[in-house]
DNA sequence: GCGTAAAATGTAATCGATTGCATACGGGAT
DNA sequence: ATCCCGTATGCAATCGATTACATTTTACGC
């Protein structure tokens, strides 16, 4: 049985070297540069290493190599399923390239951000992927410029860092244009939290589409929200109670769109017959929704993957120029959008 | 402005020492053991460190300390929202205790597991939290015994490792007993994937509750499933087409419970009037469900937190005895369970 | 058998922070 | 002035792997 090696105390290269009657240099080479060592010694070393269950201490290696081979992904909210797939994409690429991934959920707390910044400044991770839209507290712009940092999903024009984004304005406009093309004239927007740039961008797209369609901008149709189901439900209830209620709602994300659908159903309206709803993101929720949600799909996994690519490329080929990649979205038509009912 | 320090090349302790005219030993002590150094030198060193923007290289520190101060959490499926909260709980505790967390999604792939095992064996992380129910490939039992490893959520009796669990059998039985108490006599079970221990445990609880209630075990009422919405929907459709269909279904998790609800609604049944449904986990989906799902709540965040506690305690106080913590669940009553309709 | 180049191996420095031990300094008591 | 002790500091080893450079061995041609 070519077992995985003995247990007991961990062995170092020196142990292997002693047992094999060679120097640590030879052991190192035998294991990492097999061609630089005679076949006989190579096999001897491998055998002994196996027998001892030797595993190179990665920290020693990292110190010497001056590289941790790992990335830090900073997220506001770990529980948001939107991020999970992004992380997955990044992790996949990282793995391919022999990097590991540290995930940090900050919950928006400065202290926590500062803590993670320390990991970066302390060289424990060598690249940073930010899904938070801003630099973590304790990390100045200058410091960010020193190492690879990539913003994902949420832009920050002030920072001018590398970024992987989608055209939120454009696709929000597209969503609204889709509703308009079907005949909707009273189109509402359920906003995201205004503190976040993506929310402002999506609202901007909404406004732009309205104006391009020659529709009046009615502030009453812009409902404040925060991406949550419950707020979406309440805001929609208010919209539907308007004297001249909307026939369609473009929601800033999927979760709040489900809230909108629920609100409609609760007052006896049918979706999509009486109210069309369109979301943004295409998370798992969109499929589970009843009826299934029409939404804008962001290529989440790809976004994570590209971000990891960028960071690792910068690490390997020097900083290079600061690229901004804009990835394509897609309008996924399911069953919450239809032409408006004829005026009664 | 007491800025965050200059940028430019990174400085080491030796740089600070030279500038301050002291030895690196003094710098180290000034920064980490302020009381062992005269106030004058201490301030001088702090000043210079600040001025240079010095940050200790954590890898150097780790090598010397022989500890990475970090935990690895291994998950099958990062996208499953169930795990996100667990990770969050673990991360919170880890942070409190000055540990960082590496998250690995294995997707059940052996190669990936092996890769992460290497991180552990290579001492790049010093503890392991497994949400996968088994040791990663490449990690023998003996090796696991050498360092702190904790199983969470999914037990593995063969391994006899530390674990943080819930009583799946007991709470599944509780769920079924709840249905029985309301008068249900035809109670079905929508199973999880049988490869997973938690699925078998929940089915076991289902069977036990039936037998305790004196109800016959009808194999036709045990529908195979895989935790997914779609499979849940299909399996439920089949159940409802039975000559003597169930009046209630206990589902192995929330997502498949939503599928069950949808199936019922699609054939014109009302939940809970015509069919009661109860889930397991109490994920976000339970609240979003329509009607809101009655389910068994697992204390996910706490589970993660306790697991991290255990690992770090073992790290700090030696292996200690191999504890198994069983945490309490809770039956969350929402709106998918009611007494069965009177026989027509 | 000798010379020479190539291949194999060894020696020791290196990465950066920490720390046991040794030394130097200062102050108080006798 | 002497001795002692406590505080502050420096020296140098240490953690484990890697690698530039030096040295030894091997192989081959003549």
B126–chain A Cβ distance below 8 A for any pair: no
The pLDDT of residue B140 is 84
pLDDT digits (tens, 9 = 90+) for B10-30: 899 999 999 999 999 999 999
List of A residues 53-92 with CB within 7 A of strand D: 54-57, 59-61, 63-65
The alpha-carbon gap from B154 to the nearest alpha carbon of chain A, in Å, equals 20
Shared fold status for B13-56 and B66-166+300-328: no
Classify strands B294-297 and B330-332 as parallel, antiparallel or unpaired.
Answer: antiparallel
In the three-class reduction of DSSP (H, G, I as helix; E, B as strand; rest coil), residue A79 is classed as coil
Residue B89 burial (CB count, 10 A): 22
Q: Which nucleotide is nearest to B40 (CA to C1')?
A: D8
Contact in structure between A206 and A173 (CB atoms under 8 Å): yes
CATH 3.30.300.30 matches A67-166+300-328: no
pLDDT digits (tens, 9 = 90+) for B59-115: 999 999 999 999 999 999 888 888 989 999 999 999 999 999 998 999 999 999 999
Instruction: Give B287's contacts (C-beta < 8 A, 6+ positions apart).
Output: A229, B293, B334
Residue B49 burial (CB count, 10 A): 22
Burial A257-290 (b: 16+ CB within 10 A, else e): bbbbbbbbbeeeeebbebbbbbbbbbbbbbebbb
User: Domain ranges in chain A?
Assistant: 13-56, 67-166+300-328, 168-298
Angstrom distance (rounded) from CA B107 to CA B114: 12
CATH 3.40.50.1970 matches B66-166+300-328: no
Angstrom distance (rounded) from CA B274 to CA B262: 13
Neighbour-count burial of B342, counting CB atoms closer than 10 A to its CB (0-12 exposed, 13-18 middle, 19+ buried): exposed
* Residues in A touching B104 (Cβ below 8 Å): 91, 100-101
pLDDT at B318 over 90: no
The pLDDT of residue B167 is 97
The pLDDT of residue A343 is 59
pLDDT digits (tens, 9 = 90+) for B112-164: 999 999 999 999 999 999 999 899 998 888 788 778 999 999 998 888 889 99
CATH superfamily of domain region B168-298: Response regulator (3.40.50.2300)
CATH 1.10.230.10 matches A13-56: no
List alpha helices for chain A, DSSP H.
13-20, 24-32, 39-52, 58-65, 81-96, 110-121, 141-146, 168-181, 197-212, 229-240, 254-266, 284-288, 300-317
Q: Calculate the CA A175 to chain-centre distance.
A: 22
Radius of gyration, CA atoms only, chain A: 27
Dihedral pair phi/psi, residue B236, rounded to 5° = -70, -40
Q: Which nucleotide is nearest to A60 (CA to C1')?
A: D16
Contact in structure between B235 and B249 (CB atoms under 8 Å): no
Contact at CB, A122 and B56, closer than 8 angstroms: yes
Q: Is the CB of B61 under 7 A from strand C?
A: yes
Task: Render each residue's pLDDT in chain A as its tens digit; 344 residues.
Answer: 334 444 567 899 999 999 999 999 999 999 999 999 999 999 999 999 999 999 999 999 999 999 999 999 999 988 888 898 999 999 999 999 999 999 999 999 999 999 999 999 999 999 999 999 899 998 888 888 778 999 999 998 888 889 999 999 999 999 999 999 999 999 999 999 999 999 999 999 999 999 999 999 999 999 999 999 999 999 999 999 999 999 999 999 999 999 999 999 999 999 999 999 999 999 989 998 989 999 999 999 999 999 999 999 999 887 767 789 999 999 999 999 999 987 55
Angstrom distance (rounded) from CA B140 to CA B128: 13
Angstrom distance (rounded) from CA B287 to CA B334: 8
């Amino acid at each position: 049985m070519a077992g995985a090696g003995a247990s007991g105390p961990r062995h170092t290269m020196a142990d292997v070297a002693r047992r094999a009657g060679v120097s640590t240099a030879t052991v190192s080479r035998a294991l990492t540069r097999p061609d630089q060592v005679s076949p006989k010694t190579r096999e001897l070393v491998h055998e002994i290493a196996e027998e001892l269950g030797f595993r190179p201490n990665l920290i020693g290696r990292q110190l010497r190599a001056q590289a941790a081979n790992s990335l830090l992904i900073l997220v506001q909210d770990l529980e948001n399923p939107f991020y999970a797939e992004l992380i997955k994409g990044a992790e996949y690429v990282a793995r391919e390239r022999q990097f590991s991934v540290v995930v940090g959920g900050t919950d928006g707390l400065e202290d926590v951000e500062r803590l993670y910044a320390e990991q970066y400044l302390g060289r424990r991770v060598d690249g940073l992927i930010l899904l938070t839209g801003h630099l973590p507290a304790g990390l100045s712009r200058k410091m960010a410029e020193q190492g690879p940092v990539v913003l994902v999903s949420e832009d920050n024009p002030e920072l001018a860092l590398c970024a992987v984004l989608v055209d939120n304005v454009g696709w929000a406009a597209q969503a609204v244009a889709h509703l308009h093309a079907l005949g909707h004239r009273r189109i509402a927007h359920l906003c995201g939290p205004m503190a976040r740039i993506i929310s402002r961008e999506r609202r901007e797209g909404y406004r732009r589409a309205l104006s391009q369609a020659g529709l009046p901008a009615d502030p009453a149709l812009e409902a404040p929200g925060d991406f949550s189901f419950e707020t979406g439900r309440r805001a929609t209830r208010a919209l539907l109670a308007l004297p001249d209620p909307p026939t369609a709602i473009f929601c800033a994300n999927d979760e709040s769109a489900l809230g909108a659908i629920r609100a409609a159903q609760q007052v006896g309206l049918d979706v999509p017959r009486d109210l069309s709803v369109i979301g943004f993101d295409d998370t798992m929720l969109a499929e589970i929704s009843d009826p299934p949600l029409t939404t804008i799909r962001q290529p989440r996994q790809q976004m994570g993957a590209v971000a990891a690519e960028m960071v690792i490329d910068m690490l390997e080929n020097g900083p290079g120029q600061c690229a901004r990649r804009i990835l394509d979205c897609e309008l996924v038509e399911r069953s919450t959008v239809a032409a408006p009912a004829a005026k009664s």
